Chains A and B, each alone.
Chain A
Amino acid sequence: MRLSRFSIGRLFAGAAVWFYALLLIIPVYYLLVSSVKSNTQIFADPFGLPTTWEFSNFPEAFDRVDLGSALLSSATITGFAEIVTLLLAIPAAHGLARAQGKLGAVMERIFALGFLIPGFAALVPTILLAIAMKLYGNPLFLILFFPATAMPLSVILLAQFIRSIPPEIEEAAQMDGAGRLKTLVRVIIPMAAPGIATVAILNFLGFWNEYLFSLLILAPNPSLRTVQVALPVLVTQQSADYGLLAAGILMTLAPVYLLYLLLQRQMENALIDGALK
């Protein structure tokens, strides 16, 4: 039942989609070959395979922007911010999922509106808040601030997940004498684990990839800068070495892509859930 007028449009659509895919691949290819070339080689033949392999770009880029300590800084901030987010969001989501009064509805509404307030809107006052809290230059501020940016999505997504858990299961646990906390830890958290994983992945990406707030908050303390802030330092120095830059980019991308390889399905579902719900 393949009519010809279907296939012409389809052929065209296929060509357009693959052309776009090519546009996505070419930069990645360019990065890969550039990362093992010198500037001279990159300029002479941007797309050719390297004639001599400059693997030294990797250690050199790593040392130049102190990627080791940047990775540690990023991991610390992301990890602790993630813990704070989940500690706040899980009980909140549980409470809202099971609340039936007006109060719960109003609070959920406030969180839902939060989707529409980009963090950047309050960039300057947030920096002033950090100064007022005497946490300017201190990664602790980012650990406290990032969870707030993630709260609307985390609470709403988790509440939706918890709603799908039959309340009877909780009630049974409570009849057996389990307190609220125990019910949460023993019943809700295990049953909502896929939802928690989704939220954790989304937050990981958001926190790990954040640039502007990290740049500004940690400005007085360059030794604590995160990976995202460290990478562009490779070019702000007068002479840009493109081979070094490409190596630096690949090393910055590595942790996220590694995680993607490990958790491909979960990560795709997380990003799709985060957008669709």
Chain B
Amino acid sequence: MFRKKMTVSVSTLVPDQAIDEVPPPPRSGKPRRREGSAFLAVPALVWYLVFMIGPLAAMFVISLLNWPSIIAPGTWAGLGNFQRLFNDPTFWHAFGNTMLQLVIVLPLMIPLAFMAGYYLSLRPRGHRILSVLFFTPGLISVSTKAMMFFGILSPRGALNGLLQALGLDHLATAWLADPATALGCIIAVDLWSGIGYTAVLFSARLSSISGETYEAAKLDGATQWRIMWQIAFPIVKDFVGVTTMLQFLWTLFNSATIVLLLTKGGPGDASITLSYFVYDKAFISSQVGYSQAAGVVVFIVGLIGMILIRRLIRARD
């Protein structure tokens, strides 16, 4: 109602109070000073822009530079980095691995987590213990997780020990050093911790559905399976969509850490992913501009992926 910017000091407000009483908008006391209060968010916004959006914008510029090392200045390269990138078999290998990772992780994790979350939301016996167990991997840092699995997957670690105990010695291998299994290990670690944690989130969301909704369906003779997919799922569908998007971004961008700690992309480049490719080019091969060209591609893949997931969720309405 008051377009001009108002001063915010309390002393000026008090006398204005009486004049202000014209028609108060519903559910809000004093509209006058409210325009101004948004300015309180400026420091936080500036902070965010300087440390997050600024570097992100810089990435696009750097991708056009020839930058031999992190401390040396760069020279103009135009689109040369991109040209090189699209002709680099390692890049395409990383691209393929990341796609494989996404195509395995998302369709497995989201439905399994939804089903487990639905099960937990029915409060079966032991659901408290299950929730705690499912939840705690969310507390473990990526580096700790990586070190746990470094021990478990090492040639004489827990997994091979277990296989031996089960008489399946022939399946035992050096999991992280075998080109056939290295990428699989990276994917397995993601699934191991992600399914449970996501399930707890889904179960929290599902517990807001009243039991009566289910009872009515049961009386109609619907099976638990149908209740889960045709009643519970549509209610939390939007949330499932958001979770899928976040998991997609997490898998796409954050695999660098776990790859760095478990396999360094190896053996050879068997387990190299897009985000590890960016890391490797910048900090190991010292090709900063080149790495950022790959960074731009990852960013665009992220955008396209999000649009696709959004479409997919909307299309099922």
Q: Which A residues contact B (CB, under 8 angstroms)?
A: 1, 5-6, 9-10, 13-14, 16-18, 20-21, 23-27, 30-31, 34, 42-43, 45-47, 88-89, 91-96, 98-101, 103-104, 107, 110-111, 114-129, 131, 144-145, 147-149, 151-152, 155, 167-168, 171, 174-175, 177-180, 205, 208-212, 216, 228-229, 231-232, 234-235, 240, 242, 245-246, 248-249, 252-253, 256-257, 260, 264, 267-268, 271-272, 275-276
* A179 proximity list for chain B (CB < 8 A): 9-10
Q: How far is the CB of A247 from chain B (nearest CB, A)?
A: 11
Those 8 A-B pairs whose CB atoms lie nearest each other, nearest first: A95-B40, A46-B161, A148-B51, A209-B141, A125-B55, A92-B44, A104-B38, A99-B38
Is there a chain A Cβ closer than 8 Å to B268's Cβ?
no
Interface residues on B, range: 35 or more
Which residues of chain B are within 8 angstroms of A114 by Cβ–Cβ distance? Answer: 48, 52
B136–A99 touching, CB < 8 Å? no
Q: Are B152 and A120 in contact (CB under 8 A)?
A: no
Q: Which of B203-247 contact A (CB under 8 A)?
A: 204-205, 218, 223-225, 239, 243, 245-246
Taking CB atoms, residues of chain B closer than 8 Å to A234 are: 147
Are A125 and B147 within 8 A (Cβ)? no
Q: Which of A107, A120, A267 contacts B45 (CB 8 A)?
A: A107
The reply to whether B136 and A260 contact each other, CB–CB distance below 8 Å, is yes
6 example contacts (A-B, Cβ-Cβ < 8 A) are as follows: A88-B44, A98-B37, A110-B48, A111-B44, A124-B291, A175-B14
The A interface, classified by DSSP as helix, strand, loop or mixed, is helix
| Chain A residue nearest to B161 in the complex (CB) | A46
9 more A-B contacts (CB under 8 A) besides A23-B192, A249-B148? A21-B133, A30-B152, A95-B38, A118-B249, A123-B256, A124-B288, A148-B50, A211-B141, A272-B200
Q: Is the interface of B mostly helix, strand, loop or mixed?
A: helix
B143 adjacent to chain A (CB < 8 Å): yes
Across the two chains, which residue of chain A brings its CB closest to B195?
A: A20
Do A145 and B115 contact each other (CB < 8 Å), given the known contacts A121-B298, A276-B205?
no
Per a CB cutoff under 8 Å, which of B14, B135, B136, B151 touches A31? B151
Q: Which residues of B sit under 8 angstroms from A155, Cβ to Cβ?
A: 41, 44
Q: Smallest CB–CB gap between A221 and chain B, Å?
A: 16
Residues A9 and B225 in contact in the complex (CB < 8 Å), given A107-B38, A126-B51: yes
